[in-house]
Each structure stands twice: as structure tokens, then as C-alpha cells.
Amino acid sequence: MPFGYFLLVPGYALAIACALYGRRTEDQAHHAHRTAPAPDLPATTTAAHWGTQPAPGGASREVLEIAWLQGGAPRTADTALLTMQQDGLLKVDDQGDVFLTTGSLPRTPAEQAVTDEHTEARRNASSVTLGDLRGRLIANQEIVAIGESLARRGLAYGTVHRTRFRVGHVLLRLCAKVYPVLAALAVAMTFVSFVRNGTTDGITVAWYGLTVAALMVLAGVLCRIVGDAVLPDPVPATVLGRDVLQGARRDRSPYATGAVAAAGGGIALALALDGVDALGDQPVCEVLTGCGVGTVAADSSAWWSDAFSGSGSDSGSGDSGGSSDSWSSSDSGSSSTGD
């Protein structure tokens, strides 16, 4: 095989492989959604009380599922923690240390996980920072199980799939940028060769060079199309999951953000959909942000992806109402079903 044609093999093979994998994964998600049984969700609240007054309901399992679809395990952990903080069951001081309110009891399984992780952390340290508690909660089985349930029901991608999507997008962007450059070089080399070889041999060389250049341009365009329209973005929610998110935003009229949301009891859903932005300009926001709330766990491939994509197609959450937080990276500590 001539060397010019050999250079085309990686681009076309990558585009075809990514297209097939993307379609196969989407089909599996649709099949899982049709065949998976409805989840047996725990009760929204327990008989917990805060002091002598009934405690607010906390973030229900349904709200935490919305949080996972929006931002994976980090957003889910943030929603559970911030709902407790807003309801007064958890306090964060100016140094970012976390204290559970005396006499408060967990109202949901997620809040029980927060309590358990806080107790475990206190065994090894005199104080627990919000960042440490958040990291523990992200890896907690109660939070991980939410992602696993969504993956089994075809509403979320597993961590393995999202990692493969991210790698695929990086390679597709690389090919989409490199092949047009190679095509330009092929045209330039063809012109030089035509001038040197004269009319007889030059026509053959020109035909070969222009053919290779055209195929290189086509390879770049094909990689761009597959990356933009076929291979799913490395976000938690599948197409079906994004429909759930859009429905939550469309029907969220009682769930305003900021002080209005807190007064109306809709802060949990607002936190699930908008993250720290739902708290508005509260003084605690700066402390929360400094402790890592509103950020995602580090992804070793993120710097490489950003180098070729700018903002990229995987910088959002996949729904039309995403917040300013970036939730595209794979969530640390999650063990959601990947295949």
C-alpha cells in the first residue's frame, strides 16, 4: 500500500469504530430502559427529628438521581451535603470544617451515609473538612449505587463508557485537525513533484497526490461529524437521561433558586440542577467553593481534551439548562456499571 494511502487508515478506522461503538452503546441504553424493572426506591424521609421540630424532607432519592444525571457522583454528594447545610443539620465554619448539628438525625439513606462518613473521619482526626467529607461521600456505596441503578435502567452511562467516550473524542478532534494539514502538505508536495517530473510523469503524480489529499480532507470531515453527531459526549446522562433532566427543568416551577427556593422548600432540586449557583450570593458559597464543592474530580485526560477542543462538546451537562459548573469529567470513586 502506498504510504499516502496508509496514512488514511487510522482516521477512517477511528471514525468507523467510534461510530459503531456510539450507536451500540445508545442501543444498549434504550434496551436497558425498556427491560429494566422500576426501582424500589426507599422512603423519602424517615421519622427523624431535629430537636423537637419535624425536620425538612431532605434530598429524596429521586432528587439525587437528578443530581447524578446532571453531574455524576460529585453533584450527587454536593446535593446531599448542601441540602443538610441549608436545612441546618450540618454546619461549615470559615475554615471549611464540618460539624453535625447536635440532636439531628439523618432523614434519608444519603444523609445516613454523610453521618457515617463524618463519624469515620472523626476517628482519625480531630476535625473533618468539607473537602474530605465530600471525597468520602463520592466513593460511598450509597452514592455509587445511585449511578449503578441509573446505568442499569439506561438513564446514565457507566464510568467505563464515559472514559471511552472521552478518549474517542480526543482522538477524533486530533484527526479532524491533523488531516486537513496533511492534505495541504500533500497538495504542496504534489505541485513540487509535478514541476520536477514534467508533463508525462507529473500527471500521474498529480492524480495520486490530489486523490490522497481529497481522501485526507474527507477523513477529517468524517471524524468531525462522528465526534459531533454520533459518539455520545462523556457526560453522565444518556439521551433518555437528558430527557429526564429536561423534564425536571420544565416542571420545576416551584423550584426557584436562591432564597426563593429555600423559602419554598425546593432547594434540594435546585441544588441538583444548578449546584452551588442555586445558593445565590450567600456568604457560605465562597467557603463551599474553596472546599471543592461545585467542582469535579480530576480527570487525567481532561488537559489533553481541552488542548484540542477549547470548550469542547463535552463541557456541558447535555441539557439545555446546565449551570456554569463543568460536569463532563468522569466522577472519581464511582463504580457504575460500565458495560
- Degrees to nearest 5, angle at CA 88 with 148 and 276: 55
What's CA 32's distance to the chain center, in Å?
A: 20
- Report which secondary-structure segment, H or E, holds 128: strand 128-129
Strands 90-92 and 49-50: unpaired
What is this structure's pTM?
0.75
- Helices (DSSP H) in the chain: which residue ranges? 3-6, 8-35, 61-86, 109-122, 130-138, 141-152, 159-225, 239-250, 258-264, 267-274, 284-290, 302-309
What distance in Å separates the CA atoms of residue 131 and residue 133, rounded to the nearest whole number?
Answer: 6
Place of cell 432564597: 259
Rg value, the chain, Cα: 25
Distances in Å between the alpha carbon of 103 and those of 53, 127, 136? Answer: 11, 19, 23
Contacts of 29 (CB under 8 A, 6+ apart): 154, 155, 157, 238, 239, 240
The set of cell numbers assigned to 94 is 470559615
Question: 197-225 as b/e, with b when 16 or more CB fall inside 10 Å?
Answer: eeeeebeebbebbbebbebbbbbbebbbe
CB 162 within 8 A of CB 231: no
CB 272 within 8 A of CB 64: yes
Q: Which of 127, 120, 135 is closest to 77 using CA atoms? A: 135
Strands of the sheet with 97-100, listed across from one edge: 90-92, 97-100, 128-129
Q: Which of 296, 271, 277 is closest to 82 using CA atoms? A: 271
Q: Which of 319, 314, 324 is closest to 274 using CA atoms? A: 324
Q: What is the pLDDT along the chain (339 residues), one digit of tens a residue?
A: 466 688 899 999 999 999 999 999 999 999 988 887 766 544 433 333 333 333 446 788 888 999 999 999 999 999 999 989 888 899 988 888 999 988 888 888 999 999 999 999 988 888 889 999 999 999 999 999 999 999 999 999 998 999 999 999 999 999 999 999 999 998 888 887 777 766 566 677 778 888 889 999 999 999 999 999 999 999 999 999 999 888 887 765 443 444 444 443 467 888 888 888 888 777 778 888 888 887 764 343 343 444 444 434 333 343 433 333 333 333 444 444 445
pLDDT for the residue 202: 62
Q: What pLDDT, in 10s, does the model give residues 123-170?
A: 888 888 999 999 999 999 999 999 999 999 999 999 899 999 999 999
pLDDT for the residue 205: 72
- Degrees to nearest 5, angle at CA 274 with 238 and 280: 175
Distances in Å between the alpha carbon of 162 and those of 73, 249, 311, 315? Answer: 13, 24, 18, 13
Place of cell 471514525: 15
Torsion region of 80: left, alpha or beta (phi above 0 gives left; psi -120 to 50 gives alpha): alpha
What distance in Å separates the CA atoms of residue 37 and residue 201, rounded to the nearest whole number?
Answer: 68
